[in-house]
Amino acid sequence: MTAVAHLIARLEAARAGWLRLPRQTLARHLVLAVGFGLAFYVLSVYISPYRDSQLATAAYYFTALVGLTVLTGLNGQLSIGHGALMAIGAYATVLLIGRAHFALVPTLVAVTVITATAGGVLGAGAARLRGPYLAGATLALAVGLPALADGYPGTFGGDNGLTVAPPTPPASLGLSFPLTRWEAWIAGVGALVAFVVVANLLRGRAGRVFRAVRDHEVSAQLVGIPVARTQVLAFTLSAACAGLAGGLYVVVNQLAAPGAFQLSLSLSLLTGVVLGGLGTLGGAVWGALALVFLPAWATNLSHAISLPTNVSSNLPLALYGIALAGGMLLAPRGIQGALGRAGQWLGVRLRKSTSNEEGSDEQDHK
Amino acid sequence: MSRTTSRSRMRSRIGILGCLTAAVALVAGCGSSSSNGTTPGVTATSVTIGSHQPLTGLAAPGYSEIAPAAEAYFKYVNAQGGVNGRKITYIFKDDGYNPTNTVNVVRQLVLQSNVFAIFNGLGTPTHTKVVDFLNSSKVPDLFVASGCPCWDAGTTHPYTFGWQPSYTIEGKILGQYLKQHFAGKKVGVLYQNDDFGNGGLAGIKDELPASQIVTAQPYEPTNTNIAPQITAIQHAGAQVEVNFTVPAFTAIGQLTAFKLGYRPQLVVSNVGIDPTTVGGMLASFSKGKAGTALIEGAISDAYLPSPSDSSNSWIALFKKVHDSYDAGAPMDGNVEYGMASAYTFVQALQAAGKKLTRQSLVNAVNAMGAHWSGPGLVPFRYSTSDHGGYAGAQIATIKGGKVTLLGTPETTDPGTGPIVPYTTAQPTAPASGIPTP
Amino acid sequence: MSRFIDLTLNGVTSGMIYASVALALVLIWRATRIVNFAQGAMLMITTFIASSVIAASGSYILGFAAALAAGLVLGAALERLLVRPVEGGPPINAVIVTLGLLIFLQAVAGMIWGNTPRSFPAALSIQGFRIGGRHVLFSPFDLFTVGSVLVMSLALGLLFTRTGMGLRMRAAAFEPEVARLLGVRVGRMLTWGWALAAVAGSLAGLLVAPVVFVGPNTFDAELVFGFTAAVLGGLDSAIGAVVGGLILGVALSYVSGYESPALVTLAALVILVVVLMVRPSGLFTHAKARRV
């Protein structure tokens, strides 16, 4: 065990020397965010307009998954209703931009607040529920809330939903500037804001309290943590992310309709956060990429072979299903967990080949 | 304790940086080249078109047969040399009837696959979300597979064209028939709670006096229990039940009515009557008779010949194409729909001429579309300002489990215009099976 | 008044179908502490198998038996192959596995049997009983539905409370380590739990298929309402599943008939929230709330 600690300390030191991230949490996350933003920018100008739209999609998925990371990953509350929270954000965005003629940035701020408020109310109820009962209630939310659109077609456009004009790139970018890239930039900035705020919160007291409540409710209560209030707070923060994600969804897709916010969306989000690696923001990145690229990959793969119609049209779904179940069986801690293990294994290997000062029991630890 | 936190923190940081580089590689690796000045999707020997279709999910039943049938007809045309020397490649992608997916696959088709045009995109809640994108990108958006009157907007959406008659036109023609043949009878309406049902209901209300419609009951396609709606229609004393339903709900409604021993005169708009599909769902409850026993005698409307009418030259043609290229599917109304719309698309390609551009295709439909003859019982309404599809329909009934046409076809508009008979007889199909320009 | 009776009867029948799905979910929950999202897809597969057997043999009884047998085998096989590796891990991983299974099974059904729903026969007549000169919205087949779900719930209730096997299954689910020490073959108990649940699900499929037909997606709503019913009643209780199903079925029938069918799913949400706010572990759960 001491060997492990030793190793980790050395790796940490090596990393610190290499990266020199500031020690202060906020500053560190800001530096990371700038790095992320630069990479995002370079990527977005290099790729084709369609890839930009995929990147934009990944960005709003990431924002929603950050919310689920907080709620399900760190606070242990299972939500199958985040699609409904995204729907609140999306409908609010379309109504604010389309009917009340708000500008984009105030709209996104407003819908984040609106959805956070809704999340606070839901969270107050959710704090009383555990495990499958919370799952059931949030599932009913995911199925029930979009029905409001059909029930009140005057406001919400009924089954057809609502549309809104796409955001216009500033003239300074030139006439041939792809719209999808502009969408990707907006979604990317939104995602980075969510990342910095949440990463910052989680490194601090809030993160420790969230985890304490998840790991052992009774102990948390004993040391004086207000369990219910913590759970409501986690739900509110999580809903704020989902609401922002809904707003970014509108930026990218310019629509809000019941057909877009079915149960399948909530289930996809849950899948993304678990498949990516539950409880880490890196996992949220992987999850968002998986949600964008896994179905596309499955479709391309099945188009590559010529098959009877019934088979070829269902093959992408079959492959997707296999990927979900198989992924969980092979990598129970998601992509992030699998990479972490691979990285550790590699690190141990590298260390062993370069230095031979220590014993050989290191690869035994997890 | 502190050790584990520092470890997990480190791992997460490795992860984040790893993600970043991997994401760059993943996304950038698959970038595609953009167009090079010529018309996208068109070469001297090929033209590539795309579509979004519900191949899986709730809307897939029946509708998933349409695109493969259209593709079968294109293959038939390709086997005879294509159009103006160009073979047609048809890429249809599954959107599962989810608007988010529709936006995504249409962007992929236009921006990445560089399709020349979008053809026969299916559904109102789905296709309305890409109309603005297609028009601002100047991509021809031909023959949308939905009867929403909203495609008929030549001034605001010059690149979009409908194909089938609008639901309102169907509703008007059915309504007039009821006014003439069921005067004074109480009418109850069962309609899908979307633009399809609401459009049909608007058409009926346009023709029938308000007092004659005793109740109008909506249903949600996600909830298969429509017994409360059927009992409401029964208790309102309706002697005629008008359905603006998809086939599954026509069938469920008939089972419920059978359960109640309730037998009003059934009227079903074209979408929900296909006897092969509806009969297939009712087969177990017909006591040895054909599956269509419960819908026998129902009144409907049609704008294409009956798919079971083998004496019709168009059906003979479609059957031939079906047997060679799409034999796995049943020869039903959906297959006929796919092939007939593909036939119209080939007419448009021919009319656009050898020098094919996006604009020439749109101009061709505007200028010539109203004069095309084909499998339709009625003409198209195409002009520069009018982008609706078929101008009307003909009343039909289910007789011996088959759609049987009654009287003459009629044409009208989706507004308050009059309904007039259309007396030009349907031409026979060309011997080659390919439209003669 | 007669409309009220029709709506009530309609609610009872659909409530019993929700109850049968809920029973399957309760069984799996009691046996393995997993919420099985693939339940709807599993019963879809077994109903398709019944449909094919009936088409080939012409015998309803044979198809009925085939569905139940297929359920037994499918449930056991899935538990062994897919669920076993994630049992004991984080419960959410099991949820994702069942979601993957749901998507996979629906796709496979679409490949084999196509997307268009097909007709499925009923065991008895579906024409409503004639009472007071009119056919009410309740048929001999509906009576069969109500009867078989009641019998099934009774049998499952007895299995868990009155038999050694039921006791061993509960022990295996609650305290696998202790149960193992006491000589219970935990793995086998878990397999049995899934197999029996799949049989209960198969029965649900046979009961609902005549009304909604058999297609890859026709049972989606049954899973959602079945799960809602199970949570409403309390996931540990067979009686709870039946009562939950009944409440939901009847209430939703009234909402659809008197208010608007657009509000049905919203009403389900409201009912569930109201009940859970008063009783956070469902109507019929006595045990203390447990962390999952």
Left, alpha or beta for C214 (phi > 0: left; psi -120 to 50: alpha)? beta
Per the structure, the count of domains in chain C is 1
Domain that includes residue C188, residue range: 2-116+140-278
CA distance B341 to B144: 9
CA distance A105 to A111: 10
Q: What is the mean pLDDT of residues B220-243?
A: 93
- The nearest alpha carbon in chain A to B101 belongs to A260
pLDDT at B6 over 50: no
Kindly state which CATH superfamily the domain B46-165+310-391 is placed in: Response regulator (3.40.50.2300)
Question: What pLDDT sits at residue A92?
Answer: 96
Strands (DSSP E) contained in chain C are: 130-131, 134-135
> Tens of pLDDT along B300-337?
999 999 999 999 999 999 999 999 999 888 899 999 99
User: Which of A40, A186, A321 shows the shortest CA–CA distance to B19?
Assistant: A40
> Tens of pLDDT along B275-309?
988 988 888 876 655 578 889 999 999 999 999 99
How does residue A359 score in pLDDT terms, banded at 50, 70 and 90? very low
> Tens of pLDDT along B45-59?
999 999 999 998 888
Question: What pLDDT sits at residue B35?
Answer: 41
Q: Give the three-class secondary structure for B51.
A: strand
Residue C274 included in any domain: yes
Tell me the percentage of chain A whose pLDDT exceeds 90. Answer: 48
CA distance A311 to A301: 13
ipTM of model? 0.90
Can you spell out the DSSP letters for C203-226? HHHHHHHHHH-B-TTTTHHHHHHH
Cβ burial of B183 (10 Å; 0-12, 13-18, 19+) is: exposed
Looking at the complex, report in whole angstroms how far the Cα of residue C12 sits from the nearest Cα belonging to chain B. Answer: 12
Per the structure, the count of domains in chain A is 1
Chain pair B-C, CB pairs under 8 angstroms: 125
Range(s) within chain B of domains with CATH label 3.40.50.2300 = 46-165+310-391, 168-302
Question: What pLDDT sits at residue A356?
Answer: 55
Question: What pLDDT sits at residue B50?
Answer: 96
Question: What pLDDT sits at residue A9?
Answer: 56
pTM score of the predicted model: 0.89
Which chains touch B (3+ CB pairs under 8 A)? A, C
How does residue A350 score in pLDDT terms, banded at 50, 70 and 90? confident
| Other CB atoms within 10 A of residue B370 CB | 14
Report the half-sphere exposure of C244 (CA within 13 A, side-chain side). Answer: 38
Residue C16 included in any domain: yes
> Tens of pLDDT along C101-111?
999 999 999 99
Question: What pLDDT sits at residue B361?
Answer: 96
Residue A290 included in any domain: no
Q: Is-contact B161 B142, C-beta < 8 A? A: yes
Would you state the torsion angle of the CA atoms of residues C58, C59, C60, C63, taken in this order, to the nearest 10 degrees?
A: -90
How does residue A237 score in pLDDT terms, banded at 50, 70 and 90? very high
Question: What pLDDT sits at residue B399?
Answer: 92
Q: What CATH code is carried by the domain that includes residue C42?
A: 1.10.3470
Question: What pLDDT sits at residue A95?
Answer: 96
Question: β-strands B87-94, B141-144: how paired?
Answer: unpaired
Cβ neighbours of residue B324 closer than 8 Å, sequence gap 6 or more: B72, B76
CA distance A21 to A29: 9
Question: What pLDDT sits at residue B9?
Answer: 39
The CATH class of B168-302 is alpha beta
**For residue B432, what are its two tokens?**
């080659």
Q: Is-contact A129 A152, C-beta < 8 A? A: no
Cβ burial of A254 (10 Å; 0-12, 13-18, 19+) is: buried
Residues in chain A: 366
Cα–Cα distance list, A242 to A52, A62, A257, B132, C18 (Å): 21, 10, 16, 27, 31
CA distance B134 to B139: 5
- The nearest alpha carbon in chain C to A159 belongs to C262
Q: Give the three-class secondary structure for C133.
A: coil
Residue type, A46: Y
Buried b (16+ CB within 10 A) or exposed e, C53-84: bbeeeeebeebbebbbbbbbebbbebbeebbb
What residues 26-85 of chain C have any CB closer than 8 A to a CB of chain B? Answer: none
Question: What pLDDT sits at residue C180?
Answer: 86
Residue A337 included in any domain: no
Cβ neighbours of residue B80 closer than 8 Å, sequence gap 6 or more: B432, B433, B434
Residue type, B314: W
With CB atoms and an 8 Å threshold, state whether B112 touches A50: yes
Q: Is-contact A261 A83, C-beta < 8 A? A: yes
With CB atoms and an 8 Å threshold, state whether C92 touches A275: no
Residue entry with tokens 């990944």? A58
pLDDT at B10 over 50: no
Q: Give the three-class secondary structure for B217.
A: strand
Cβ neighbours of residue B358 closer than 8 Å, sequence gap 6 or more: B39, B40, B116, B117, B138, B139, B140, B159
In which residue ranges of chain C is pLDDT below 70? 286-292
**For residue A106, what are its two tokens?**
């105030």
Q: Which of A132, A137, A147 sits opposite C266 (nearest CB)?
A: A147
Residue B271 per-residue DSSP state:
G
Question: What pLDDT sits at residue B8?
Answer: 40
CB under 8 Å, gap of 24 or more: what pairs does C269-275 form?
Answer: C269/A137, C269/A140, C269/A141, C269/A143, C269/A144, C269/A145, C270/A144, C271/C232, C271/C247, C272/A136, C272/A137, C272/A140, C272/C228, C272/C231, C272/C232, C273/A125, C273/A137, C273/A140, C275/C232
How does residue A364 score in pLDDT terms, banded at 50, 70 and 90? very low
With CB atoms and an 8 Å threshold, state whether C257 touches B232: yes
CA distance C148 to C8: 19
Residue A270 included in any domain: no
Looking at the complex, report in whole angstroms how far the Cα of residue B359 sits from the nearest Cα belonging to chain C. Answer: 37
Tell me the percentage of chain B whose pLDDT exceeds 70. Answer: 90
Tell me the chain C residues in contact with residue A291 when contact means C-beta distances shorter than 8 Å: none
What residues 88-147 of chain C have any CB closer than 8 A to a CB of chain B? Answer: 106-107, 110, 115-122, 126-128, 130, 134-137, 139
Cβ neighbours of residue A341 closer than 8 Å, sequence gap 6 or more: A333, A366
Question: What pLDDT sits at residue B4?
Answer: 37
